[in-house]
Amino acid sequence: MVTKSTGPVDKIIGARIRLQRTAIGMSQEKLGDILGITFQQIQKYEKGTNRVGAARLQAIADALRVPVSFFFEQRPVSADAPDAPLGIQDLLTSKEGIELARAFLKIENPAMRRALIDMARAAATDSQNQD
């Protein structure tokens, strides 16, 4: 008998749900209302705690105005791979990352954008050297 536990792909799909939901400014409660489920269920999907069935994934895609394939983009080559860092996806699914990206996009001066990138690189290097 096969058990229905979640795995890395479920976490990736959940992260992609959160990414798109937050990108369009939709709350978990609003998405839950559209789907007829609780925001707690949305939380479980986004954390990868619960699997998202095919019909539910289609409904989520419709609600978030993306194709179902959106949830499988940038997936690791192997579903058996350990929970590898998602990099950009991690950034864009965090509240701070979304805030940073929105603010960055509002900066029109290329020199200021470059200075911000250089500062972030320096801070990251300094942080790694302190570890």
pTM: 0.64
Please give the pLDDT value at position 127: 74
Please give the pLDDT value at position 15: 87
Domain-wise residue ranges, the chain:
1-93, 95-131
Please give the pLDDT value at position 47: 92
Residue 106, CB-side half-sphere exposure with 13 Å CA sphere: 6
**In this structure, what token pair is assigned to residue 118?**
């250089």
Q: What is the CATH number of domain 1-93?
A: 1.10.260.40
Please give the pLDDT value at position 54: 96
**In this structure, what token pair is assigned to residue 120?**
């972030």
Tell me how far apart the 2 most distant CA atoms of the chain are, in Å. 60
C-alpha–C-alpha distance, residues 47 and 71, integer Å: 14
The answer to whether 64 touches 20, Cβ cutoff 8 Å, is yes
Per-residue pLDDT of the chain (131 residues; tens, 9 = 90+): 556 788 888 988 998 899 889 888 899 999 999 999 999 999 999 999 999 999 999 999 999 999 999 898 765 444 444 444 456 666 766 778 888 888 888 999 999 999 999 998 899 888 777 76
Q: Is 98 exposed, middle or buried (0-12, 13-18, 19+ CB in 10 A)?
A: middle
